Amino acid sequence: MPMLGLGTWENTDPEACANAVKTALEMGYRHIDTAQIYGNEAEVGAGIAAADVPREDIFLATKVWINELGHDDVIESTKESLDKLGVDYVDLLYIHWPARAYDPDETLSAFDELVEQGLTKRVGVSNFEPEQVREAVERSDAGIFANQIELHPLHQQDELREVCAEAGVEIVAYSPLARGTVFGVDVLSDIAEKHDVSEAQVSLAWLREKGVTAIPKATGEAHIRDNWKSLALDLDDEDIEAIDAIERADRRVDPDFAPW
């Protein structure tokens, strides 16, 4: 899985969304993330179709919403997602939240069937806490490839990262820039100045050092390019230790159905 992807949450303007996906892919991105609830799967698909990049080179992920997690609903809604995306399969299909219609056995068995049918190559979970990760790993025949969670220097999720590592589950970080909050943190600003880069690049490089794939959302070419430049940034031990020492639990995503 590529270590940096493009997130598309809130990117609902049809032209802007398709252009962002096309721009990112032609810049070198290979991981594109969307979700049923984002309402932009068709636009993401249009961007993929417009880009001069073979489908087999793209790691495409979407997520099944919490109202669609009954067995038959998982199957039907995933086929609808594929139609909107204009693809035969996704590389990774997530359970978006362990909420509402989520039932470990029923939901995961449907995801297993989708793998068997070739409609997704991998099963993922999102916003799963430690015990839910362990349970999903135990119940899934196909295996759990990744847990997509809010993760950034201001919400480092040490225990959850450790549990996922022990279970062999990759971590994908959404809101890796804490929805812009990283730009106001002295530690990150000092490191950014030291390397003559942005705080966004510092945050993304820190996640990469932790073995985490980040999927920052970006619409304009300037932000897409700035995030891409993070791949060339090598933080030193002093930088990483300084970021590790940030003691904040600044969660930016906290809906009423969240499991924590």
Rounded Cα–Cα distance for residues 31 and 42 (Å): 17
Token couple for 42: 């068709």
Rounded Cα–Cα distance for residues 144 and 170 (Å): 9
Rounded Cα–Cα distance for residues 108 and 128 (Å): 14
Which residue in this structure is represented by tokens 């994908």?
Answer: 172
Give Cα separations from 65 to 182, 198, 214, 218 (angstroms).
28, 34, 21, 22
Interhelix angle 199-209/237-244, rounded to 10 degrees, is 90
Closest by Cα among 156, 148, 213, 227 to 185:
156
Catalytic one among 38, 94, 102, 174? 38
Handedness of CA 240, 223, 120, 130 (dihedral sign): positive
Respond yes or no: is residue 38 known to be catalytic.
yes
Token couple for 216: 């920052």
Catalytic residue numbers?
38
